[in-house]
Structure 1
Amino acid sequence: MDTVEFIQIRKFIVKLGKMLHKYGTPAFRLEAYLGEVAKYLGVHASFISTPTSLTFVIWSDRHEDEYNHAARLQPGDLDMNALSLTDELASELLSGNLSLTEADKRLNEIDAMGSPYGKLSTGTAFAMATGAFAMLMGASWSEIGWSAALGIVAYLWTLWAQQSKRVNLMLEPVTAFVGGILTCAISRYIDPGMNIPLVVLSSVIVFVPGLALTMGLAELSSRNMVSGTARTMDAIMQLFKLYFGAFLGVSVGFSVFGENVYTPAESLPYWATWLAVFLLCIALVAIFRTRLKHIPWALAAAFIAYSATAWSSDYMSPGLGAFVGAFALGIFANAFTRIANQPATIVAMHGLIVLVPGSKTYIGLNSFMTGQDFVKADHLGQEVFLIFMSLVAGLIFANVVMPTKKAL
């Protein structure tokens, strides 16, 4: 291998790694995938990925050329459209249908792409996701409507954060703070007796880091200690910021508008739970930027995960029920990889989002701080821990029973 070819290869690997990191790929998947690409391109390589950095060491067969590259990066956000397109590009390159020069050019085009869904669709998805979560939590119809409305407010803050670094730094606490004040005002003047903590939690559920906590634990279980620890601690700090903002907002709201007396509403019918799962999955399509051709797979993944959990919870504890749900989800996601030749992450994330107990972690934090529960929950701390462990174990067992075709 001559030096010119080596330079071209290592430039492509570095760019590919940075893009996959940008799209929220977990460390153990990113390192394994880059290793496969490097092996095909005829170079030796070693990679270290963390949520905020990426290190490359690439060398030729006889060490004629060696290259080290370390980059400081921002934590990635899930972008299933770009992830899918990047994986397709890499597959075409590895199959010989695309030259390295063409692949490099296509990478630039994918990186410059925006969301396939416009701002209106994404804002609607925020409202649908927050309302659907309130429905899952057993809120009344009016509380569901107010949660959806506050979800739009959260999306407006997200748009502002994309334009302002200062707003981006305080996005989670200020969104929860504003949500808390607005909920207190609504309860005082429009809808008295509403469950204020539940509506506030629902309005910021998009920011609750349950998925990040699960990914961090999965990285720790795969012995990616640095990345797993960093991702887990980042998720915990994000949860703290959300709770503090909500706590401060509700406290200020009570001081300005007066205390709220919660009046329990009539329970929703059982079918509302399945409607909530469906609406939440539809909302995640725009939030995760899922491609149109993958929407049926994503919906199926969420319903398989939720139904398997609900069915098994009738025969065992909810924590172990999450293990069955994660196991079924892992089998389905790996089958998707074999059939569609796409990363399992594309459908697995949709299923995980209905299983991860990020909201229960928030509720447990509220119970610890105030001594009050705004939803009925017994032994919440033990249940949250068991669910997290069950999710990770379920995915590991699924990979053993049906190994994934792709590293991603």
Structure 2
Amino acid sequence: MQSKNVDKSEFIQIRKFIVKLGKMLHKYGTPTFRLEAYLLEVAQYLGVRASFIATPTSLTVVIWSDKHEDEYNTAARLMPGELDLHALSLTDELASSLLEGKLTLAEADKRLDEIDVLPSPYNNFITGPAFGLATGAFAMMMGASWSEILWSAALGVLAFVWTLWAQRSKRVSLMLEPATAFIAGILASAIGGCLDPGINIPLIVLSSVIVFVPGLALTIGLAELSNRNMVSGTARTMDAVMQLFKLYFGAFLGITAGFTLFGENVYKPAQSLPYWATWLAVFLLTMSLVAMFRTRLKHIPWAIAAAFIAYGATTWGAMYMDNGLGAFVGAFALGVFANLYTRIANQPSAIVAMHGLIVLVPGSKSYIGLNSFISGQDFVRADNIGQEVFFIFMSLVAGLIFANVVMPTKKAL
């Protein structure tokens, strides 16, 4: 769209709105390559020219009028954003209303401030059990026994307590991942030594901290690199790797301390769960993510469908190809569905895509591979885990790229 002539007062209004919109979308966990593309679309519709550079910790904005009568640039240091699909959806609806002429720029700016202070639609009494549901569902997907699933869920609720504490204490926030994994390791060892001998302690610890395992961040980082957003992609990928190291070190230290205090646990494999339990786990995991990602009620059926499409397509693909390429089929099906959702609901594809990606991303396998590399032992059956993780990551990124070619997205978000 061609730029239009704007006077100085209008230019000031426009650039204030664009900067505020960019900061809010960054805060809500928008991938940087999507953030830049979306802000560029908004700037063009508002009649100004602009350039944006986004990273996980900063946002640089340059805005100028058609003939450079007015120019503005700013750089902001920002904290890495966390997914908030409720606020992301409302912000996108606001921007769409502005571009359709249903809101004035002043009204849109005021509404942005209102969205920014909205509380989560899910309070702590819902989010806390959602943590336990997510960790228990993951243990179920990994083939744990019923007792291991229950212990994982209990420790998952404890991880939520640590998360609440981190929101109120900067010192705790700096050590959240390793401290949570350390406590989980000690408690799991105590459970194995005193209450339930023979349980799979490393699997319980992994399940209890799965909400912190950065599989999604690694996938987004690689997607940013594939879009040639080198600085942001590299920063996000290395941040995810360091988070994975912190989690593993905390868990390793906690289990070691626990074995010293309560005696070493001898794992006794329990009877595996029936096949239908895996599909139940996908449903339970998706429902827990609804609260953790703050998904709006009207988007829940779409989110559940996305998770089942992603997992079902991956399972079907794995029947004819190896597991890595099966993930390509799942990511491709998820990408097509998410882009189709964008066309039907006029909402960002991320609202449903993130739920499906969580089911697909191999963050847990990265952790298992790290454990195998350091200790030389596997706590779940995993052959050639390093190679499989690499193929799954590449398959996910390639699947999403191919999906955007077959079913182009209607929105940049």
Where on the TM-score scale, by shorter chain, does this alignment land: which range? over 0.9
Describe the superposition over 1:52-110 as per-residue Cα deviations: whole angstroms up to 9, x where unpaired: 00000000011011001000000000000000000000000000000000000000000
Partner of 1:11: 16
Q: What code does the residue aligned with 2:195 have?
A: I
Distance 1:407 1:216 in 2: 17
Partner of 1:298: 303
Distance 1:7 1:258 in 2: 67
Partner of 1:25: 30
Q: CA deviation at 1:24?
A: 0.5
Partner of 2:362: 357
Describe the superposition over 1:345-389 as per-residue Cα deviations: whole angstroms up to 9, x where unpaired: 000000000000000000000001100000001000000000000
Does 1:42 find its partner at 2:47?
yes
- 1:56-75 mapped onto 2 (5 Å cutoff): 56-75=61-80
Match of 2:119 among 106, 109, 114: 114
SS at match of 2:295: coil
Q: What code does the residue aligned with 2:230 have?
A: M
Q: CA deviation at 1:288?
A: 0.4
Partner of 1:195: 200
Q: CA deviation at 1:318?
A: 0.3
SS at match of 1:375: coil
Q: CA deviation at 1:114?
A: 1.7
Q: What code does the residue aligned with 2:308 have?
A: F
Does 1:94 find its partner at 2:107?
no
Distance 2:100 2:167 in 1: 38
Q: CA deviation at 1:2?
A: 1.6
Match of 1:137 among 128, 139, 142: 142
Describe the superposition over 1:155-200 as per-residue Cα deviations: whole angstroms up to 9, x where unpaired: 0000000000000000000000000000001111110000000000
Please, what is the CA RMSD of the aligned residues? 0.4
Partner of 1:407: 412
Distance 1:142 1:392 in 2: 36
SS at match of 2:228: coil
TM-score, L = length of structure 1: 1.00
Q: CA deviation at 1:3?
A: 1.2
SS at match of 2:62: strand
SS at match of 2:245: helix
Distance 2:148 2:343 in 1: 42
Does 1:264 find its partner at 2:269?
yes
Distance 2:141 2:355 in 1: 16
Distance 1:378 1:54 in 2: 42
Q: What code does the residue aligned with 1:5 have?
A: E
Give the 4+ runs in structure 1 shifted more than 6 A: none
SS at match of 1:76: coil
Does 1:370 find its partner at 2:409?
no
Partner of 1:237: 242
- 1:332-347 mapped onto 2 (5 Å cutoff): 332-347=337-352
Match of 1:277 among 279, 282, 291: 282
* Structure 1 alignment gaps of length 5 or more: none
SS at match of 2:319: coil
Partner of 2:174: 169
Distance 2:156 2:13 in 1: 46
Partner of 2:3: none
* Structure 2 alignment gaps of length 5 or more: 1-5
SS at match of 1:227: helix
Q: What code does the residue aligned with 1:366 have?
A: N
Distance 1:148 1:110 in 2: 32
Describe the superposition over 1:330-356 as per-residue Cα deviations: whole angstroms up to 9, x where unpaired: 000000000000000000000000000
Distance 2:123 2:53 in 1: 35
Q: What code does the residue aligned with 1:288 have?
A: F
Q: CA deviation at 1:312?
A: 1.1
Distance 2:319 2:93 in 1: 41
Distance 1:40 1:69 in 2: 21
Distance 2:325 2:373 in 1: 24
Q: CA deviation at 1:314?
A: 0.6
Partner of 1:79: 84
Distance 2:178 2:45 in 1: 46
Q: What code does the residue aligned with 1:230 have?
A: A
SS at match of 1:96: coil
